[in-house]
Amino acid sequence: MSEATRIDGKAFAAKLRERVGALAEAFAETAGRKPGLAVVLVGEDAASQVYVGAKGKATVAANMESFEHRLPADTDEGTLLALVAQLNADEAVDGILVQLPLPGHLNEQAVIGAIDPGKDVDGFHVINAGRLSVGQTGFVPCTPLGCMMLLADRLGDLSGLEAVVIGRSNIVGKPMAQLLLDANATVTIAHSRTKDLPGVVRRADIVVAAVGRPEMVKADWLKPGATVIDVGINRLPPEPGSDKGRLVGDVAFAEASETAAAITPVPGGVGPMTIAVLLRNTLVAAYEHAG
């Protein structure tokens, strides 16, 4: 079998960001203000610092206003909820993103639940999760929506295809399964208690791996010709003589490329799509707020 096509999420995301940036400029001309995204980071988590920095830069590059709020790790829930309330009321703010994970003493559900659902560009509020589950329009979480864009671009109509989503998180696995179902795929959600996971995955025309286990999905788990979307971003332990380990996905990329028809690389696959879709959701929010 020939080598799989590499699905270039980085290039797709760059085009999406460019389109969103042009539309944001047009929005500003008619609305008299730029779309605004507020990002809240509590604490010093290294990966979160990198993500939040990248989101801020991408927001400005897409002709939008970025409002960054960095709070100390020991911030109490009342203070955080007061900030969310202030952002809900701020007309310059179209989207609010509270970076997860929050420090352990803060109740994530309570904080997400305090965000105005009309500004919940992450799509994590129960109202938006509920809308997705009953087929109403609302904000859809960025990573799964980005995966769907890559799948639609690659495969077109997904009707009747067998899709296996590995992972059942609220952020990726569950909304991903919902979106695939809405696209008329036959969907299985597999997880850590699934019996014969390789056998289940082998049925799939579409595999979406979102478990956070480095290189777990092997070539012999895949049906020849499958399309593989790898959401995992895992850092391996450093090799001798190097201070940082390699980034890998949840799929053993090199061997899987021998069996799959198409596969997203890590990095450069799904990762860049998340921020591009966040900007797209913020633009949609801005248009809704402008009436």
Q: Is the dihedral of CA 212, 228, 269, 274 positive or negative?
A: negative
For 28, the token pair is 């500003």
Q: Is 142 in the site for ligand GUN (CB under 6 A)?
A: yes
Q: Which of 65, 122, 215, 250 binds ligand GUN (CB under 6 A)?
A: 122
Residue 69 DSSP code: E
Catalytic residue among 34, 99, 120, 250: 99
Q: Is 43 marked as a binding-site residue?
A: no
Collapsed DSSP state (helix, strand, coil) of residue 43: coil
Residue closer to ligand GUN by CB (options 98, 276) is 98
Ligand-binding site membership of 127 (annotated):
no
Give 5's DSSP letter.
E
- Closest contact distance (angstroms) between CB of 148 and ligand GUN is 15
Structure tokens belonging to residue 223 = 């049906």
Give the gyration radius of the chain's Cα atoms.
Answer: 19
Strand segments (E) across 78-161: 95-98
Chosen residue from 99, 178, 227, 259 binding ligand GUN by CB under 6 A: 99
Which one of 28-36, 61-69, 91-99, 247-255 is the stretch in contact with ligand GUN (CB under 6 A)? 91-99
Number of other residues whose CB lies within 10 A of the CB of residue 102: 23
Q: Which CB atom, from 66 or from 99, has the smaller least distance to ligand GUN?
A: 99
For the chain, the residue count is 291
97 lines the binding site for ligand GUN (CB under 6 A): yes
Q: Give dist(CA 67, CA 264) in Å, integer.
A: 32
247 binds ligand GUN (CB under 6 A): no
100 belongs to the binding site for ligand GUN (CB under 6 A) = yes
168 is in an annotated binding site: yes
CA-closest candidate to residue 137, choices 109, 117, 159: 117
Question: Which residues pair with residue 68 across a beta bridge?
Answer: 39
| 99 carries an active-site annotation | yes
Residue type for position 95: G
Give the count of residues interacting with ligand GUN (CB under 6 A): 8
Q: Which of 120, 122, 205, 230 is catalytic?
A: 122
Is 70 known as a binding-site position? no
x/- letters, 8..47, toward ligand GUN (CB under 6 A): ----------------------------------------
Query: Could you tell me the sign of the dihedral formed by the alpha carbons of 259, 263, 265, 271, in that order?
Result: negative
Q: How far is the CB of 99 from ligand GUN (least distance, A)?
A: 5
Please, which of residues 248-277 interact with ligand GUN by CB under 6 A? 274
The rounded distance, in Å, linking the Cα atoms of 255 and 260 is: 9
CA dihedral 64, 36, 151, 256 (to 10 degrees): 80
> Minimum Å distance from CB 100 to ligand GUN?
4
- Angstrom CA distances, 285 to 15, 58, 92, 99, 278, stand at 20, 17, 11, 18, 10
Q: How far is the CB of 55 from ligand GUN (least distance, A)?
A: 9
Active site residues: 55, 99, 122
- Binding-site residue positions for NADP(+): 167-169, 233
Positions at the binding site: 167-169, 233
Which residues of this protein are in contact with ligand GUN, per CB under 6 A?
97-100, 122, 142-143, 274
